[in-house]
């Protein structure tokens, strides 16, 4: 059921920020990526975000990024939106990656704010416009100042919304008021990039989510938004609340979401493999704790 008063999301509603599977020797596991992508789509994800933070983009090569997009496109077919992370600290390199993603078969690009150099807002705006001008793909801006050190300020976002190919935002700003200001003044499709905000952002007009936790429980994350869309708001709230312990364990347990998601996937016998340095795998105690939370939640939602 689709709400006729809500614009159709450009990349689907429930997107997974997919991990990048590696072999035990640390090589790119394309077969594992195909299997995982197929499972995610079969279990309720409308689209996939590859080569993002959760996909360990800082430690994959440009060639590996393109290979991953091609492999996942082969696995899921043409009907599933693929958004490829292309953001770097270098505008020229970002443009190169956007063009490469387009050639590899991506449907859109995820572009993070340039990090480390901390450019002022006029430079941030110019960066995004140059990337959006470079290819024919629609752009999802990635606002995550906790990692980049630089916010895409609401006024900058509002100006960027006039670009015909800048269509969406992955919102990890933790500024709910700022987000609502942009929603009220633009047609940008806002996706919750923080799993604890999946329902809250959707309820005020967001387009959906780009979820890390969906790597493990895609159907459960999709269900939150499906139930809300069907008009069962109280039940949707309960589903979001029931997900909170797992969201906390994966996203706020002292380890990066990539590490915790891969630990759970490995424990469940699903494609994941190791993380690449400088990340380190979850220790046995942490992995056992994650699995216990996952199993407890499974008992709760089926009770």
CATH number of residue 196's parent domain: 3.20.20.70
- Render pLDDT for 166-198 as a digit per residue (tens, 0 to 9): 999 999 999 999 999 999 999 999 999 999 999
Nearest C-alpha neighbor of 209 from the set 51, 83, 27: 83
Which of the pair, 301 or 296, is modelled with greater confidence?
Answer: 296
Give CA–CA dist 36/4, Å, rounded. 32
Of 158, 148, 54, 46, whose CA–CA distance to 107 is shortest? 46
Q: Is 248 inside any structural domain?
A: no
Is the distance from CB of 68 to CB of 20 less than 8 angstroms? yes
Catalytic residue among 65, 142, 202, 262: 142
181 annotated active-site: no
**b/e per residue 43-56 (b: at least 16 CB within 10 A):** bbbbbbbbbbbbbb
CA atoms within 13 A on the CB side of 95: 12
What pLDDT, in 10s, does the model give residues 200-214? 999 999 999 999 999
For residues 159-167, average pLDDT: 98
Residue 2 makes CB contacts below 8 A (sequence gap 6+) with: 8, 229
241-275 exposure pattern, b = at least 16 Cβ within 10 A, e = fewer: eebeebbebbbebebbbbbbbbbbbbbeebbbbbb
In this prediction, residue 8 has a pLDDT band, given cuts at 50, 70 and 90, of confident
Please check whether residue 241 lies inside any domain of the structure. no
Q: What pLDDT, in 10s, does the model give residues 42-95?
A: 999 999 999 999 999 999 999 999 999 999 999 999 999 999 999 999 999 999
Query: What percent of the chain has a predicted confidence (pLDDT) above 90?
Result: 94
Q: Is residue 243 part of a domain?
A: no
Q: How far is CA 226 from CA 27, 141, 231, 247, 281, in A?
A: 37, 24, 9, 19, 33
Flag whether 223 is in a domain. Answer: no
> Tell me, what's the pLDDT at 300?
57
pLDDT at 298: 72
Of the residues 65, 170, 190, 294, only one is catalytic, namely 170
- Residue 34 domain boundaries: 14-218
Phi, psi values for residue 257, rounded to 5°: -60, -30
In the chain, the percentage of residues whose pLDDT exceeds 70 is: 97
CA–CA dist 107, 113 (Å, integer) = 20
- Asked whether residue 97 is assigned to any structural domain, the reply reads yes
Look at residue 5 and tell me if it is in a domain: no
Query: Confidence band (pLDDT; 50, 70, 90) for 232?
Result: very high
113 pairs with which residues across the strands? none
Band of pLDDT at residue 297, cut at 50, 70 and 90: confident
According to DSSP, residue 202 is labeled H
Cα angle value 28/34/35 (rounded, 5°): 110
For residue 303, pLDDT over 50 is answered with no
Average pLDDT over residues 226-236: 98
Give the closest residue to 67 by CA, choosing from 90, 88, 51. 51
- Active site includes 170? yes
pLDDT exceeds cutoff 50 at 1: no
Examine residue 96 and state whether it is found in any structural domain, yes or no: yes
Question: 234 lies in a domain?
Answer: no
Helix (H, G, I), strand (E, B) or coil at 98: helix
Structural domains of the chain, count: 1
């Amino acid at each position: 059921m689709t709400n006729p008063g809500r614009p159709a999301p450009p990349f689907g509603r429930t997107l997974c920020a997919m991990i990048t599977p590696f072999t035990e020797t640390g090589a790119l596991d394309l077969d594992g990526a195909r299997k995982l992508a197929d499972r995610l789509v079969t279990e309720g994800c409308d689209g996939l975000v590859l080569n993002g933070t959760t996909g360990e983009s800082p430690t994959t090569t440009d060639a590996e990024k393109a290979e991953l997009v091609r492999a996942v496109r082969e696995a899921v077919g043409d009907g599933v939106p693929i958004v490829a992370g292309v953001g770097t600290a270098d505008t020229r390199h970002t443009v190169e990656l956007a063009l490469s993603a387009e050639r590899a078969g991506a449907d859109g690009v995820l572009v993070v704010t340039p990090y480390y150099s901390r450019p002022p807002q006029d430079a941030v705006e110019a960066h995004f416009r140059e990337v959006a001008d470079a290819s024919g793909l629609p752009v999802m801006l990635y606002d995550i100042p906790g990692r980049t050190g630089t916010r895409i300020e609401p006024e900058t976002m509002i100006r960027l919304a006039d670009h015909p190919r800048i269509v969406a935002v992955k919102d990890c700003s933790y500024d709910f008021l700022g987000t609502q200001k942009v929603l009220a003044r633009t047609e940008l499709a806002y996706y919750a990039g923080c799993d604890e905000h999946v329902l809250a952002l959707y309820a005020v007009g967001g387009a959906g989510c780009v979820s890390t936790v969906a790597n493990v429980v895609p159907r459960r994350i999709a269900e939150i938004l499906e139930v809300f869309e069907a008009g069962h708001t109280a039940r949707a709230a309960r589903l979001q609340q029931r997900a909170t312990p797992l969201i906390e364990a994966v996203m706020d347990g002292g380890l990066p979401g990539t590490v915790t998601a891969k630990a759970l996937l490995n424990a469940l016998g699903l494609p994941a493999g190791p993380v690449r340095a400088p990340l380190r795998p979850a220790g046995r105690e942490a992995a056992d704790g994650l699995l216990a939370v996952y199993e407890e939640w499974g008992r709760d939602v089926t009770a």
